Chain A
Amino acid sequence: MTQVVYERPQEHMGMPLPTPKVAMWLFLVTEIMFFTALIGTYIVLRHGTPAQSPFKWPAPHQVHLIEWIGALNTFVLICSSFTVVLAHHAAVKADMKKATSYVAITLALGGVFLGIKAYEYNSKFQHDILPGHIGESLPYPAKGGGDNDLKAIEREKHEHATGMQYFHRVQLQLEAIKKSSIDAEIQKECNALLDAMTATTAAEGQAVAFHRPPSPAEVGERVNEILEKAEKKGVTLHLTPAIPFGNLWASCYFAMTGFHALHVLGGVVVFAIILLMAVIGRLGPQHSTMLELVGLYWHFVDIVWIFLFPLLYLV
């Protein structure tokens, strides 16, 4: 009933596609799911946060994300996508010299992308915008009266320790700043903050009677002010800012761009290998399929960035 009998078998049973290409597409399927999960995680986490300011998802400038750099990187990847497709095109035409040079350009563009990425990462490290560092859920001093006091107390209890982690981190950084020499005005402010903070730890025996220690929230506020000033003056300060949801943002940012950068790196390595083959003269028109496959991968990496860029930098 269901069995079809051919006395004369068909020649080729498979898809009219070369086996490696089938495999490549299947590999891309797994990659699509991988990034879907990452992006899905990001979207969910982001939408799970409250929408009202000041407790909403950090804006790009808060986390020192510069949009035009992201746009530039997008452009770089688009260019590289273009060149890689031209490389394949040349290889199909058996013009290996042209193909090689296009691969070289692609490789260079991949390098540029990674360079820009590294620059961006560096600025995050400089500003200490790293997962687990940023002061985000700081206990706020009570404003208003009545129930809000109670709420604040409860909240304070709940997060005191978290806040204190931030407090201590800032304290260490301020001490380091004290030892270094930077812009005098900013140094002064930092020292003032440090003094205010250490007055709490001095505690017993000293005359600190009228010196209420700043709460972690207040420390956060002042740190942000100092950072703003330093920004205006062009001074780089190694101080951890207080950003609501900063840790979550940093987690997502590093995970998503990090895995994307790893994929770019993988592509760059493959291009380097191809280039090496070309240099020792082992690259021929028979490799055009291979170039197409690498291209597929590279375009996929490009597409991922096409989505990451707006999601992280713009929206």
Chain B
Amino acid sequence: MSVSHSHSAEAHAHHELSFLRKYIFSEDHKIIGIQFLFSGLIFFLIGGTLALLVRLQVGFPKGINLPWFPISWGGRMSPDFYAMVFSMHATIMIFFVIIPLLTGAFGNFTIPLMIGARDMAFPKLNMMSYWFMWPAFAVILSSFFVEGGAGASGWTSYPLLASATMPAGEGFHSPASPHSGIGQICWLVALLFVGVSSMMGSINYMTTIINLRAPGMTMFRMPMTVWAMFITAILQSMALPVLTVALILQLLDKTINTTFFLPPGGMAFGNWHTGPGGGQTLLWQHLFWFYSHPAVYIMILPAMGMVSDIISTFARKHLFGYKPMVLAIAGIAGLGFIVWGHHMFQSGMDPRLGTGFMIATIMIALPSAVKTFNWLGTIWGANIQYTTAMLNALAFVAMFVIGGLSGIFMAATPVDVYFHDTYFIVAHIHYVLFMSSIFGIFGGIYYWFPKMFGRLMNEKWGKVHFVLTFLFSNCTFFPMHIIGIAGHPRRYYDSTLYRFLDNVQPLNQFMTISAFLLALAQIIFLVNFFWSLFRGAKAGANPWHSNTLEWTAPSPPPHGNFVQTPIVRRGPYEYGNPDMEEDYLPQAEPQPSGIPAPAH
């Protein structure tokens, strides 16, 4: 305890905190992370249930009537309701599940532990960033019950569908879509709160990583998870303000009659005119995608980082090409800022811009390729231990390749002319978001659960869950490529109107059935999660024989994390050193005598 270092000062002796301060309004990054985790999982259920409604409608647009199925159901939801359901499905999944889980839960939990800090740089700010989610939770949930229902303009909320409303004073009944009145305002407000929350989080993460690393933890000794979180935070801090502006402008358009996104002369809906205009409809798309394309990398980079750590740990092998991996993340982030136009190839944007955006977009596959091959390099010649966490991480790699490769089709402008807004894109979305990010999240949960709660999750049921999820998610989403190739447009309430889609309708039914089985499989996860929370086998400090710093702290770590500030002596991936008996060498372990330190 004689470290002369200022940050290790254990001067603040912690007196007992009340339950409220300890678990609810906690400033402890671990508790906040866990709060984010629970919120995210709850919203995953809500978003997933909405997805099932989507599938129900798309698979059986005329009601269910199957010879082999006991229940027949003639009910139909209304097209407007359908639009609301998929819009809220995507909004919830992206802004209330993936982002809180990846950056909120794992970012909070892992960053200070992995760099050997006692806590975040600004614990109060950290707490606020969680509590700023709550107005968002409340608003987005209550928006289902407001007049007209929740927003229904897709998660992209393009004007004018989203922003056309009656002039102020005449109520918010939009002639464009019944849900783009108050529901849309709720959507905007909720996203504003999420944005502010993420912004606070990202500033906190960056500061923590820049300034609070434990002694010896140089930038290039940080685990990939921390690198990924760091670069994600940079992305967020640079991209989010733009979304904030866009949201505010749309909010102003809808409430005080500004005309940022309304075209000149206003627009005519039947007999009814919007007010004056003069703005640019495309401007919203530019501002939105300027955020939302980097956002899709915000939604995958942390998962990539986590997966790198998990794979290296369970392959019992040094991560292949650590520096290239870091550079690849940085490259993805950098390129990610100049490709937003690929969502707008067919939007009426100047086609010459399309050419530029296309080249940038296709080149972004390069850093992704580096990552993919390095993961393969990591398991090559490894000694793989198939824990559930590892399986999920490997599934991430396998599925990310599929999702990424389908991105190339859409990045190619002429091919995107055909594929834009078809189910091919829905397939892409779910391969990169559900089957990459969510598998990464599952992997992370299985991996850090013992550190979070001091108990292990049940491996057997974990594997059952994994097998079923892997199987049924492929059954659910892979055929989307096929119906996309056949031209099935997305956001379609009923595709049976179209002759050219006749022969893919059976696939739609197949996907719906798989989606329900997929949902059932998630119940296993839930049960396992809560059962293990209370009944799981007790985990020691380092159940996986992992190298990174968090495993030197007790499980679960106390407030302040480390009994003694760790001193970092090497990189995080010293597995399988042939000179040693053990196949791992934690970052903070003193150099064993007789083992030569790596070169330099």
Inter-chain contacts of A250 with B (CB < 8 A):
258
Partner of B277, one of A23, A161, A247: A247
User: Does any Cβ of B come within 8 Å of A22's Cβ?
Assistant: yes
| Alpha-carbon distance between A308 and B268 when the two chains are bound, in angstroms | 34
- With contacts A49-B278, A131-B256, A162-B275 taken as known, whether A41 is within 8 angstroms of B570 at the C-beta atoms is no
Partner of A45, one of B212, B239, B283: B283
Contact assessment for B252 and A251 in the assembled complex, using a CB-CB cutoff below 8 Å: yes
Inter-chain contacts of A6 with B (CB < 8 A):
216, 569
Inter-chain contacts of B258 with A (CB < 8 A):
131-132, 247, 250-251, 254-255
Contact assessment for B266 and A41 in the assembled complex, using a CB-CB cutoff below 8 Å: no
Contact assessment for B571 and A2 in the assembled complex, using a CB-CB cutoff below 8 Å: yes
Distance of B60 from chain A, by nearest CB (Å): 42
| Alpha-carbon distance between A19 and B570 when the two chains are bound, in angstroms | 25
User: Does any Cβ of A come within 8 Å of B529's Cβ?
Assistant: no
Contact assessment for A31 and B215 in the assembled complex, using a CB-CB cutoff below 8 Å: no
Contact assessment for A48 and B121 in the assembled complex, using a CB-CB cutoff below 8 Å: no
Nearest 5 pairs of A and B residues by beta carbon: A132-B257, A14-B211, A161-B273, A251-B258, A9-B216
Q: What string of 1s and 0s marks CB contacts (under 8 Å) between B269-300 and chain A?
A: 00011111111100100010010000000000
Inter-chain contacts of B259 with A (CB < 8 A):
131-132, 247-248, 251
Question: What are 5 sample pairs from A and B whose C-beta atoms fall under 8 A apart?
Answer: A3-B570, A3-B598, A5-B569, A23-B122, A49-B278
Inter-chain contacts of B273 with A (CB < 8 A):
159-162, 165
User: Does any Cβ of B come within 8 Å of A148's Cβ?
Assistant: no
Contact assessment for A9 and B279 in the assembled complex, using a CB-CB cutoff below 8 Å: no
Distance of A115 from chain B, by nearest CB (Å): 23
Contact assessment for A30 and B568 in the assembled complex, using a CB-CB cutoff below 8 Å: no
Contact assessment for A4 and B283 in the assembled complex, using a CB-CB cutoff below 8 Å: no
Partner of A137, one of B239, B249, B278: B278
User: Does any Cβ of A come within 8 Å of B207's Cβ?
Assistant: yes
Inter-chain contacts of A134 with B (CB < 8 A):
276
User: Does any Cβ of B come within 8 Å of A112's Cβ?
Assistant: no
Contact assessment for A162 and B249 in the assembled complex, using a CB-CB cutoff below 8 Å: no
List B residues 431-484 near A (Cβ within 8 Å): none
Distance of B399 from chain A, by nearest CB (Å): 29
| Alpha-carbon distance between A7 and B279 when the two chains are bound, in angstroms | 62
Inter-chain contacts of A162 with B (CB < 8 A):
265-266, 273-276
Contact assessment for B597 and A5 in the assembled complex, using a CB-CB cutoff below 8 Å: yes
Partner of A4, one of B5, B207, B218: B218
Contact assessment for B199 and A30 in the assembled complex, using a CB-CB cutoff below 8 Å: yes
| Alpha-carbon distance between A12 and B214 when the two chains are bound, in angstroms | 8
- With contacts A37-B242, A159-B265, A162-B265 taken as known, whether A15 is within 8 angstroms of B210 at the C-beta atoms is yes
Contact assessment for B278 and A132 in the assembled complex, using a CB-CB cutoff below 8 Å: no
User: Does any Cβ of B come within 8 Å of A302's Cβ?
Assistant: no
User: Does any Cβ of A come within 8 Å of B567's Cβ?
Assistant: yes
User: Does any Cβ of A come within 8 Å of B244's Cβ?
Assistant: yes
Across the two chains, which residue of chain A brings its CB closest to B203? A26
Contact assessment for A30 and B277 in the assembled complex, using a CB-CB cutoff below 8 Å: no
Q: What string of 1s and 0s marks CB contacts (under 8 Å) between B192-228 and chain A?
A: 0000000100011011001111111110110000000
- With contacts A19-B121, A132-B276 taken as known, whether A13 is within 8 angstroms of B218 at the C-beta atoms is yes
Given contact pairs A37-B246, A45-B260, a sample of 15 additional A-B residue pairs in the complex whose CB atoms are under 8 Å apart: A3-B571, A3-B600, A4-B600, A6-B216, A9-B215, A33-B241, A41-B283, A41-B287, A132-B167, A132-B168, A132-B276, A137-B278, A158-B268, A162-B273, A165-B275
Contact assessment for B598 and A29 in the assembled complex, using a CB-CB cutoff below 8 Å: no
| Alpha-carbon distance between A247 and B167 when the two chains are bound, in angstroms | 13
Distance of B226 from chain A, by nearest CB (Å): 12
Inter-chain contacts of B214 with A (CB < 8 A):
13
Q: What string of 1s and 0s marks CB contacts (under 8 Å) between B319-334 and chain A?
A: 0001100000000000
| Alpha-carbon distance between A28 and B220 when the two chains are bound, in angstroms | 27
Inter-chain contacts of A44 with B (CB < 8 A):
280, 283
| Alpha-carbon distance between A22 and B597 when the two chains are bound, in angstroms | 34
User: Does any Cβ of A come within 8 Å of B237's Cβ?
Assistant: yes
- With contacts A26-B203, A31-B241, A161-B268 taken as known, whether A14 is within 8 angstroms of B278 at the C-beta atoms is no
Inter-chain contacts of A137 with B (CB < 8 A):
264-266, 276-278
User: Does any Cβ of B come within 8 Å of A82's Cβ?
Assistant: no
Contact assessment for B256 and A132 in the assembled complex, using a CB-CB cutoff below 8 Å: yes
| Alpha-carbon distance between A19 and B123 when the two chains are bound, in angstroms | 13
User: Does any Cβ of A come within 8 Å of B591's Cβ?
Assistant: yes
User: Does any Cβ of A come within 8 Å of B240's Cβ?
Assistant: yes
Across the two chains, which residue of chain A brings its CB closest to B599? A1
User: Does any Cβ of A come within 8 Å of B161's Cβ?
Assistant: no
Inter-chain contacts of B220 with A (CB < 8 A):
2-4
Q: Which of B256, B266, B322 has the most CB of A within 10 A?
A: B266
User: Does any Cβ of A come within 8 Å of B238's Cβ?
Assistant: yes
Partner of B203, one of A11, A27, A165: A27
Distance of A248 from chain B, by nearest CB (Å): 4
Partner of A251, one of B7, B260, B322, B599: B260
Inter-chain contacts of A206 with B (CB < 8 A):
none
Contact assessment for A14 and B279 in the assembled complex, using a CB-CB cutoff below 8 Å: no
| Alpha-carbon distance between A133 and B245 when the two chains are bound, in angstroms | 23
Contact assessment for A30 and B237 in the assembled complex, using a CB-CB cutoff below 8 Å: yes
Partner of A11, one of B215, B274, B568: B215
Q: Which of B211, B213, B591 has the most CB of A within 10 A?
A: B211
Inter-chain contacts of B287 with A (CB < 8 A):
37, 41
| Alpha-carbon distance between A31 and B238 when the two chains are bound, in angstroms | 9
Distance of B575 from chain A, by nearest CB (Å): 12
List A residues 204-251 near B (Cβ within 8 Å): 245, 247-248, 250-251
Q: Which of B4, B213, B260 has the most CB of A within 10 A?
A: B260
User: Does any Cβ of B come within 8 Å of A38's Cβ?
Assistant: yes
| Alpha-carbon distance between A131 and B280 when the two chains are bound, in angstroms | 15
